[in-house]
Amino acid sequence: MRTIVALLVATTLTAATLTTFRGRASEIPQADRRSGSTFMSPQTQAMQNDDTSNPGMLWVLDGNALWAKKTGIADRACMDCHGDARQSMRGVATKYPAFDEALARPVDLEQRVNLCRVNHQQASPLAYESRDLLALTALIGNQSRGLPIAPGADPRLAPFVAKGRELFMRRQGQLNLGCTNCHDDNWDKRLAGSAVTQAHPTGYPLYRLEWQGLGSLQRRLRNCMVGMRAQPYEADAPETVALELFLMSRAQGMPIETPAVRP
């Protein structure tokens, strides 16, 4: 509890400094864009880069087992339609969130897995942040490791990217901060001892040492929003997907690291 209070005080002070001295909201030049992993200590980088010390690989391992497991009324496994994930899922995660024809809006990877479960396996959707959903998205994300992020090619996504951008720029919460105030304007600074970073979602779902577990980009977004004392979006809210989509388009061309490790 004491840590939380101290952290809040620190956050308030820093936020006051941010709002007083840094009013601009400019985008990061292409040449200065960096993955969150470059802000980490060499030890944490080594942990991410070695598959036998990266704890995220435990979820990938689980994902492999789930991929082959028959489920639902249809009694089908992911593998029965998609075959070997190593081939069929290669590059898939680089294009998410992607436009869904039936829903006429973008869906993120978590929602895609659940749509597949409901429509094709006739199984119940997996809960957000459940071990199974994280395992499957980690497995799918892992197949795109090293490939450049390439979302938003579909012109129908344009209004959603614009919406996400607007949300990223908008000040909100009791501290009256927008995402941009930290992640565009002050990414080279520190917040209570931690690097602010540039908010490029290159490695989700990722293993956060603070969480002692794997978490999705949505969880990370909620984390940030609670930090600026704003009301986090609901798990299924269109705002969340719009923000995810904007963040991915902002990180266009950067290689996927899933499952990444972060402090």
Partner 1 sequence: MASALINVPVTAKRGDVIEIKTLISHVMETGFRHTMTGAVIPRNIVTDFSCRYNGVEVFRAELFSAFSANPFIAFFTTATESGTFEFRWSGDNGFIETASASITVA
Q: State the catalytic residues.
A: 224
The stretch among 30-38, 50-58, 97-105, 195-203 that binds partner 1 (CB under 8 A) is 50-58
Interaction of residue 231 with partner 1, rule CB under 8 A? no
Counting contacts by CB under 8 A, is residue 226 touching partner 1? no
Q: Please tell me whether residue 195 binds partner 1 under the rule CB under 8 A.
A: no
What's the burial of 29, exposed, middle or buried (CB within 10 Å: 0-12/13-18/19+)?
exposed
Measured from the CB atom, the residue of 55 and 232 that comes closer to partner 1 is 55
Instruction: Tell me how many residues contact partner 1 (CB under 8 A).
Output: 14
CB of 145 to partner 1, least distance (A): 16
Q: What is the CA radius of gyration of the chain?
A: 19
Cβ contact 56:221 at 8 Å: no
**Dihedral sign of CA atoms 61, 56, 95, 122 in order:** positive
Indicate which single residue of 25, 58, 77, 169 sits in contact with partner 1 (rule: CB under 8 A): 58
Question: Starting at the edge strand that comes first in sequence, how are the strands of the sheet with 213-215 ordered?
Answer: 213-215, 206-208, 261-262
Residue 33 vs 131, nearer CB to partner 1: 131
Kindly tell me which of 20 and 52 has the beta carbon lying closer to partner 1.
52
Which ranges of 155-261 does DSSP label H, i.e. alpha helix?
A: 158-169, 179-183, 217-227, 238-250
Q: How far is the CB of 135 from partner 1 (least distance, A)?
A: 8
Q: How many CB atoms lie within 10 A of CB 208?
A: 18
130 near partner 1, rule: CB under 8 A: no
